[in-house]
Homo-oligomer: A and B are copies of this chain.
Amino acid sequence: MSAVREELHALVFDVFGTLVDWRAGVARDAAPFLKRHGGRTGGGAADAHAFADAWRRRYVPSMREVIDGRRPFTRLDILHRENLLAVLPEFGIDPQSVSAGALDALNLAWHRLDTWPDVAPALARLHERFVLAPLSNGSIRLLVDLARRNAMPWDAILGAEIARTYKPAPEAYLRSVEALDLRPQQVCMVAAHNADLAAARRCGLRTALVLRPTEHGPRQTGDLVASADWDFVAPDLGRLAELLLAD
């Protein structure tokens, strides 16, 4: 067994994109909403996947204000809600014309996402040997809802809400490692995003890239390959489990 692997005690996971297919899930819930409210893109009916992409595009900039200290820690549900109001006009919908209840219900689409098919069996196997926790920008409640829906066997919910800041701020990683009372090299960050792993590595964590080449749809251009010599690289979580659990 490799020295890196032997030292590992916990695996911490990015969630959006790495474990759950946010694009399909948001599009599924947005489609009837867009239809009901007359959403439009260009000349035709709004495309629900384009809507999911547009909503998601506002994710990083909205967290940046918190990371930079220009705004106190604000949970992702609230950022999602603000971003929803901002994105609706791009699809021809006046947010003022939609009831608050309908907006809240659509906002909860992020709590109703499904895991990629390889996730549940791989997490179950990994849980026998490792402490498992999400290290996500999602709120505790959101991650609890996703875990209950998808039977994700988390030992604890770590990440942004306990650190009171967002990835890639170092505190998000370091506070999660501290909560596990481990040294950074005993914890491996698992993500489909090279930038997440680069930030984790700067904090001393081990790194594992799981490829999700259709996270952003069939024409994805980023994160198709490893951008650095991560400790582990795997085409899916099942294969990563084999790498980590092999004798």
Binding site for B on A (CB under 8 A): 75, 77, 131, 139-141, 143-144, 147-148, 154-158, 161-162, 179-182
Q: Which of B77, B143, B147, B179 interacts with A140 by CB under 8 Å? A: B179
Give CA–CA (A139, B162) in the complex, Å: 13
Give CA–CA (A154, B144) in the complex, Å: 10
Q: Which of B141, B158, B179 interacts with A179 by CB under 8 Å? A: B141
Distance to closest chain B CB from A125 (angstroms): 15
Give CA–CA (A182, B145) in the complex, Å: 13
* Interface CB pairs A-B, < 8 A, 10: A75-B181, A77-B181, A131-B148, A139-B179, A140-B179, A141-B179, A143-B156, A144-B180, A156-B157, A157-B157
Residue in chain B with minimal CB distance to A162: B162
Give CA–CA (A156, B156) in the complex, Å: 5
The answer to whether B77 and A139 have CB atoms under 8 Å apart is no
Residues of B within 8 A of A155 (CB): 144, 147-148, 154, 157
Distance to closest chain B CB from A220 (angstroms): 32
Residues of B within 8 A of A181 (CB): 75, 77, 139-141
The answer to whether B141 and A161 have CB atoms under 8 Å apart is no
The answer to whether A141 and B77 have CB atoms under 8 Å apart is no
Residues of B within 8 A of A156 (CB): 140, 143-144, 154, 156-157
Residue in chain B with minimal CB distance to A127: B148
Distance to closest chain B CB from A107 (angstroms): 12
Residues of B within 8 A of A75 (CB): 181
